[in-house]
Each structure stands twice: as structure tokens, then as C-alpha cells.
DNA sequence: CCGCATCCCTATAGATACTG
DNA sequence: CAGTATCTATAGGGATGCGG
């Protein structure tokens, strides 16, 4: 991904150049719902990403300012990742994707519950989520 | 893409399985701003998609109910494509991506103008766009 | 011409084994 | 635990062909 190649001046295209692959948004999702994740957390997220792909995506997302790697030497979880502000601001997009998907796929109730608040008050839910994430 | 393989029960993941690649959303984008497109229109959209890739994506998006192929025999543009309702309902996502990208990339004024209305009244802009697209 | 299909070749994605 | 290394599969680019 993203070897500094902008395919065009289109904002959609520019965005996809950074996180428009099968995995990046899932990494962002994990960080949205968990605030911080370790390498292992991502691997256990359910979709089964390969270690080399995960490694490459983390590097790419960090390079593009979407996530931050935090070193915490001496603790159990020595390395973890969190969203930057730029990454946090993808929340509205993720919420819209979530809402769209619920209309067209069968989603288990426990997963639906993750954005339940967005159904009654979308803007409020988004604002609260962003605020929470910025505290991490 | 999408050989009927759902990676998980996550709505984000399910969505990406259908249109989470470098090209699908650009095709959707073209249909959002132009209502209908011919094969040639997509090829000339600016990013330079290859003919075989375009063909594959169109087939995949049609298979997944995102777009429709319309045959119009006897006219100049014999074949064109349009969004289905399912595809039209990606508008909120595209708008959010657009807005996000304008914060983090330098976008030419003429392209920014495409969703100018969304900055003052996002919900209104989205509703109007959807209504327009459904008329096509 | 237009809307693809096909072939060839390269680049990237992805699975698995292994390492500091 | 957090990644590399290696190998294979697939996506993608570019040229060309072909029926309508």
C-alpha cells in the first residue's frame, strides 16, 4: 500500500490510497472499540490477519499518521497502538459503514449493540466516541 | 474480490468484503456524481483503471447488488450503469470520506465544490443527493 | 468506435514457518 | 510477544483481439 502514489486529486481516491484495503479499516475499528490494542489483540480480532500483513499495515498506518505506536518498556504489554486525532476522525465514516451494513447483512446482536447509541442520536454518539478516544 | 467469503460477522468486515478495494468506491463515486456512466466514462475518470480490472469490478458490484447494468439497444450509449438503492445508500459514507479527506489532503477547489452543500447542512445534502439519484 | 475478453508479465497480498 | 523471512497465490497493468 501507499508508496507515495496519489492516483488523482480526488479526496475519495486519496483516502483509499491510505486506508482503502481489506485490513486497514479493521485495525482502525479495533482501536475505535478498544482504544488501545497490542499486536496480539489485532491478530485475535476474528478475521485472521497474517502477521506480515498486520506488520505492514501498522507501519503504513503509522507512516500516514493514522495510528501511534506507544512503547511502554517494563510493563506486560510493552508495545501498544492507539489512534491519532487523524485516525479518530474516521469515526463518522466507521459509524456510517456500520449503519449501512446493518441494513444489508445479518449482524449478531452483540455486535449491533456496539453502536446502538448511533441509531437514536448519531451526532451525539459520534461526538461522545471521539471525546472518549481522545482521552486514551 | 468477494468469492462469497465472509471473514467474520463484523459489519465493517462484511462491507469491506464487497467494496473494500482500491477501485470499487471510485466506481460508486463516479455514479454518485454522474448518476449514470458508460464503460468509457469509468476508464476516463482520472485514476487510470485497467480494462480488465474495471470489467471485474463492475461484475462484482453488480453481483453484490450495488450497481445495475442497463441495456439500451439502438442508442449511442448502448450500455450504461447506475446505482441500485443499496448502492445509493453509500452516499453518507462517501460524504464523510469526502469531508475527512478535505481536512487532511489538499483538494482542488472544483472538486471540493462537489459536496459544498454538505458543509452547511450535511443531512440535507445527503437526503437531496439520494433523492436525485433515485430518480435516475 | 464501444464494451468488453484474453493473455502475459509484474507487483502486491497472504499463509506459514521461524526468530530475537 | 512482536515481529521477519520465505514462499505461493492473487491482484493489477498494459497490450491486443474481437463481436456488435
Q: pLDDT digit string (tens) for A78-121?
A: 789 999 999 999 999 999 999 999 999 999 999 999 999 999 99
Nucleotides of C under 7 A from a protein CB: 2-8, 12-18
What proportion of chain A, given as a percentage, has pLDDT over 90?
85
CA distance B76 to chain A (A): 29
Distances (CA, A) of B77 to B29, B39, B66, B73, B81: 20, 10, 21, 8, 11
Short-list B66, B22, B28, B70, CA closest to B48: B22
Q: What is the pLDDT of residue A2?
A: 45
pLDDT above 60 (res A1): no
Range name among A43-47, A51-55, B112-116 with the lowest pLDDT average: A43-47
- What is the nearest nucleotide to B7, using C1' and CA? C14
Q: How far is the CA of B1 from the C1' of D10 (A)?
A: 10
Task: Output the average pLDDT for chain A.
Answer: 92
Which grid cell sits at B124? 440535507
Which residues fall within 8 angstroms of residue A6, CB to CB, at 6 or more apart?
A13, A14, A17
CA distance linking residue A65 with residue A59, whole number of Å: 10
CA distance linking residue B8 with residue B2, whole number of Å: 13
DSSP per residue, A79-133: EEEEE-HHHHTTHHHHHHHHHHHHHHS---HHHHGGGHHHHH-HHHHHHHHHHHH
B37: helix, strand or coil: strand
Q: Does B43 touch chain A (CB under 8 A)?
A: no
Nucleotides of D under 7 A from a protein CB: 1-6, 11-16
Q: What is the pLDDT of residue B1?
A: 43
> How crowded is residue A119: how many other Cβ atoms within 10 Å of its Cβ?
12
Could you give the angle at the alpha carbon of A41 between the alpha carbons of A40 and A44, nearest 5°?
85
Indicate the pLDDT class of residue A4, thresholds 50, 70 and 90: low
Indicate the pLDDT class of residue B69, thresholds 50, 70 and 90: very high
> Which chain A residues are within 8 Å of B48, Cβ to Cβ?
7
pLDDT above 60 (res B2): no
- Contact across the interface for B92 and A96, Cβ inside 8 Å: yes
Which grid cell sits at B118? 454538505
pTM, entire model: 0.93
CA distance A126 to chain B (A): 12
What proportion of chain A, given as a percentage, has pLDDT over 70?
96
Distances (CA, A) of B32 to A60, B92, B98, B118: 29, 11, 12, 14
- Contact across the interface for A12 and B20, Cβ inside 8 Å: no
Q: What is the pLDDT of residue B4?
A: 55
**Sheet order of strands, B67-71 included:** B36-37, B79-83, B67-71
Q: How far apart are the first and last CA of chain A?
A: 28
> Which residue in B10, B86, B102 is closest to A11 by CB distance?
B102
Amino acid at each position: 500500500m501507499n508508496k507515495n502514489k496519489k492516483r488523482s486529486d480526488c479526496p475519495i481516491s486519496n483516502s483509499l490510497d491510505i486506508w482503502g484495503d481489506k485490513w486497514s479499516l479493521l485495525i482502525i475499528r479495533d482501536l475505535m472499540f478498544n482504544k488501545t490494542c497490542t499486536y496480539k489483540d489485532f491478530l485475535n480480532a476474528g478475521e485472521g490477519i497474517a502477521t506480515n500483513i498486520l506488520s505492514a499495515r501498522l507501519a503504513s498506518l503509522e507512516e500516514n499518521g493514522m495510528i501511534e505506536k506507544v512503547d511502554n518498556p517494563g510493563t506486560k504489554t510493552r508495545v501498544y497502538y492507539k489512534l491519532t486525532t487523524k485516525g479518530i476522525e474516521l469515526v463518522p465514516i466507521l459509524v456510517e459503514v456500520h449503519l449501512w451494513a446493518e441494513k444489508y447483512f445479518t449482524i449478531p446482536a452483540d455486535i449491533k449493540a456496539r453502536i446502538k447509541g448511533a441509531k437514536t442520536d448519531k451526532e451525539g454518539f459520534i461526538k461522545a466516541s471521539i471525546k472518549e478516544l481522545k482521552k486514551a
